[in-house]
Amino acid sequence: MSIFTSSTGGGLFSTRRDDPDVELSLPLYSSADNRSSGFLAAASSNLPTSRSASPRPTDRIPRPSTPPALFSPPPLAGRLRRVCRQSWQTILVVMLLLYTFYTFLRPSTIQIDAADAVAEYDGGPPKSKITHLVMVTGHAIWMGGPTLGDDEKEWTLLSYQKGLAKTFKQHIQKGVDIAQADEGSLLVFTGGETRRFAGPSSEAQSYWSLAYLSKLIPPESSLFNRSTTEEFARDSYENLLFSICRFHEYTSNYPSKITVVGFEFKRERFETVHRHAIRYPHEQFTYIGLDNTDDQEQLAHFQKGEKEGTLAQFRADPHGCVDAGLVSKKKERNPFRTRHGDPIITTLLSTDHSLHLATGVVDMSTPPPPDLAAGVPTTPSRLFTKAGAPLTPEQVRKLETERLKAKAQRQQREQEAAAESAPLPRGTKRTFASAAPPPTADGKPNTDDRPARNLRNAKDAPARPLESIQAARKFQKYVEYDFSKMQDTKGGFISVADDPHSVLAAAEAAGKPANMTLEDWDRQQLKKRLQREQQGAFEPAILKGGKKCFECESLELDWKFLEVFGARVCGKCKEKLPDKYSLLTKTECREDYLLTDPELRDEELLPHMDKPNPHKSNWATMNLYLRYQVEEFAWKKWGSPEALDEEYERRTAEQKRRKDAKFQKRLMDLKKRTRVETWKRQGKLGAVSGGKHVHEWGELVEKEGAGEGIGVKTCVECGMEVEEMII
């Protein structure tokens, strides 16, 4: 039987048998018809399965009268055609996949010029050798373009800045030239994101990009590694102050020389006002001014506005924190609400208006303090701190008045809150006003459908005072309370806070003069505490003829180290030389340097600093010792560092030997009590062959009564006998 189908999927389904007179022809549906599979299966099931079986009468159907040409081709030709068609389809799919991979995964054909490639540069002097700050102030934002800043359309200029693009490029060129000539300088472009329509792009970043694309700062030069940006300044004062902070962030020290590049008409503002506001020495400050001399009318307008406007405002408010005009300009020049990340500047800018009013205004006629006039400041100026600021009597009176007002308002709010939350007597019905929601801001009744707060609901009740104290996971059954912060409520009776005129209040104010108020008494106690701890205004002053640092001869000594240890060292050298000036705990001195407790308790031999225990407040006080003093005493005690190491190794070996001996003793005791026979056998024969017994056989002796040809060998040590046949 043979089956033929046409290439188009249709035609006749023919079944030929040996009988030439019989042929079964059925119509064949296309593959798209859902009935074709079932129809063919049914048709094939009705066909005879054996050649010898005789067909039924119903199977005999006359031959069709269709010519032979309409029938399908022979089996071999159809099979070849089908194989060729499948092969062509496979080839097309493979070619399509190859083209897809080639299109999406082929390497880039962009050619990068070696001269334009930015190579990492690690040259130039160390950061500790950089002492010169070269600052270029930004005034506009360059958006990029083919002319590299020559066309003013590439700049975000304000209405009064027309024609200044050329001057901006001159500022950049001058700053690059100064920094290029001094290998110990750091070039800082300063200016924040001052233009909303320019997007989050800063003046400093655009200046640096313009200098880089103009080949003024090539990657292969040392200046490429000595140039950076400061992108938070909003006015000229912040340009100078933030650039110094950026210099400290970049080099870990403050500049010994500052060179500012800007407009000539701003020279007096920088040299007289800003420099004096930060208390920087005049002889170490240089200002280079470049103006647009092509437009004299514009230059005269700038000079007049500087003298009558900005310069006068900064003279009255050197830090730019109080004057309304300067503050509004800062807000306008910060459209994206960015903040400076330096902790010193963040603390300065986060102070409130009253503190700026008390400490921000500086009398420009007063000379700078002697400690800052003598050299370069290595710490923030004391004018920025509240404790070291000189307050006038008028400022003290204003601050005291505002403090008393705030205290009275707080007491009034607390009394009102206590009256509202007081429980009602039993059997008293609440009023509608207490249950109704509060009115709106404009005084109208609140129509909110949400129910009022139900005071009878336990989940709405106020939390207990100690519910906020949560125990650690491993201390679920134990909570450590800070008793220094807990308040004795006297069991609910009248306390000192309720009755300040009681006997208990008088006991707390023991020693207070009768004619002194409580506020004056508290202020006096605070002053004594600061004086005792030498903090705030009582911090030791820096004098020219005073003691100097042993390492760098600096006048800014760490007074705590000088008072406790007698060590003349400044804060910078203390951080730079940790192998000499770091602090050691008592445990480290006892274990690493093999010092005894009597030696560590003797303050004449080894002075120490006491600090609270950082792990638990109720643990013993932590004693800290200076490293070089401990090492000096240890070398003197043991002779040399090598002798100390030998003693340490000897003690370590002795400790290990004792530990092993103790372990072996316990192990032997355990063996005695458990495996007696095994211990005996190992004790007698354990030394042979690493703890294993090896038989040592004697001569073969014929055994009596065992028959002929049978001998016996006996182990010399354990007596074991083995029979062998004698051949």
pLDDT score recorded for residue 174: 95
User: 144 and 67 in one domain?
Assistant: no
Query: Average pLDDT for residues 383-410, to the nearest whole number?
Result: 70
Domain membership of residue 634 (yes or no) is: yes
Residue 86: band (very low, low, confident or very high) from pLDDT cuts 50, 70, 90? confident
User: 159 and 296 in one domain?
Assistant: yes
Query: Average pLDDT for residues 680-700, to the nearest whole number?
Result: 66
Domain membership of residue 121 (yes or no) is: no
Pairing status of strand 710-714 against strand 701-702? antiparallel
Domain membership of residue 330 (yes or no) is: yes
Alpha helices in 675-720 (DSSP H): 676-685
Domain membership of residue 144 (yes or no) is: yes
- What secondary structure, in 3-state letters, does 163-218 show? CCHHHHHHHHHHHHHHHHHCCCEEEEEECCCCCHHHCCCCHHHHHHHHHHHCCCCC
Distance, in Å, from the CA atom of 77 to the CA atom of 84, rounded to the nearest integer, reads 11
pLDDT score recorded for residue 178: 95
Q: 517 by DSSP, 3-state: which?
A: coil
pLDDT per residue as tens digits for the range 417-463:
777 766 656 555 555 555 555 555 555 555 544 444 444 444 444 55
Tell which of 339, 363, 380 closes a domain: 339
Q: Tell which residue, 115, 97, 171, has the closest CA to residue 140.
A: 171
pLDDT score recorded for residue 177: 95
Tell which of 323, 339, 355 closes a domain: 339
Q: State what percent of residues in the chain have pLDDT above 90.
A: 25
pLDDT score recorded for residue 573: 92
Q: Which two tokens stand for residue 124?
A: 């130039």
Domain membership of residue 232 (yes or no) is: yes
Tokens 């020389």 belong to: 257
- What secondary structure, in 3-state letters, does 557-607 show? ECHHHHHHCCCCCEHHHHHHCHHHHCEEEHHHHHHHCCCCHHHHHCCCCCC
The pairs formed by 537-541 with CB atoms below 8 angstroms and a separation of 24 or more are: 537/387, 537/388, 539/388, 541/371
CA dist list (Å): 228 to 168, 179, 345: 18, 12, 19
User: How many structural domains compose the chain?
Assistant: 3
Domain membership of residue 533 (yes or no) is: no
pLDDT averaged over every residue in the chain: 74
Its domain, for residue 263, covers: 127-339
User: 68 and 132 in one domain?
Assistant: no
pLDDT score recorded for residue 160: 87
Whichever domain contains 627, its CATH number is: 3.90.530.10
What DSSP string describes 350-412?
Answer: TS-HHHHHHHT---TTSPPPHHHHSS--SS--GGGSSTTS---HHHHHHHHHHHHHHHHHHHH
The model's pTM? 0.38
Cβ–Cβ under 8 Å, residues 696 and 715: yes
User: 272 and 143 in one domain?
Assistant: yes
pLDDT score recorded for residue 482: 67
Least confident range of 80-84, 108-112, 226-230, 679-683:
108-112
Residue 253 has pLDDT above 60, yes or no: yes
User: 144 and 245 in one domain?
Assistant: yes
User: 206 and 303 in one domain?
Assistant: yes
Domain membership of residue 492 (yes or no) is: no
User: 66 and 143 in one domain?
Assistant: no
Whichever domain contains 148, its CATH number is: 3.40.50.620
Domain membership of residue 434 (yes or no) is: no
Q: Name every residue whose Cβ is closer than 8 Å to that of residue 660 and which is 6 or more positions away in sequence.
A: none
User: 253 and 332 in one domain?
Assistant: yes
- What secondary structure, in 3-state letters, does 438-473 show? CCCCCCCCCCCCCCCCCCCCHHHCCCCCCCCCCCCH
Burial (0-12, 13-18, 19+ Cβ within 10 Å), 470:
exposed
Residue 231 has pLDDT above 80, yes or no: yes
pLDDT per residue as tens digits for the range 599-656:
999 988 899 998 888 888 788 889 999 999 999 999 999 999 999 999 999 999 999 9
Q: Which two tokens stand for residue 245?
A: 């902070």
Tokens 């334009």 belong to: 116
User: 160 and 63 in one domain?
Assistant: no
CA angle 207, 208, 212 (to 5 degrees): 120
User: 47 and 131 in one domain?
Assistant: no
Residue 336: band (very low, low, confident or very high) from pLDDT cuts 50, 70, 90? confident
Distance, in Å, from the CA atom of 14 to the CA atom of 33, rounded to the nearest integer, reads 19
Terminal CA-CA length for the chain: 83
Tokens 């932590």 belong to: 622
User: 149 and 60 in one domain?
Assistant: no
Residue 88: band (very low, low, confident or very high) from pLDDT cuts 50, 70, 90? confident
User: 148 and 15 in one domain?
Assistant: no
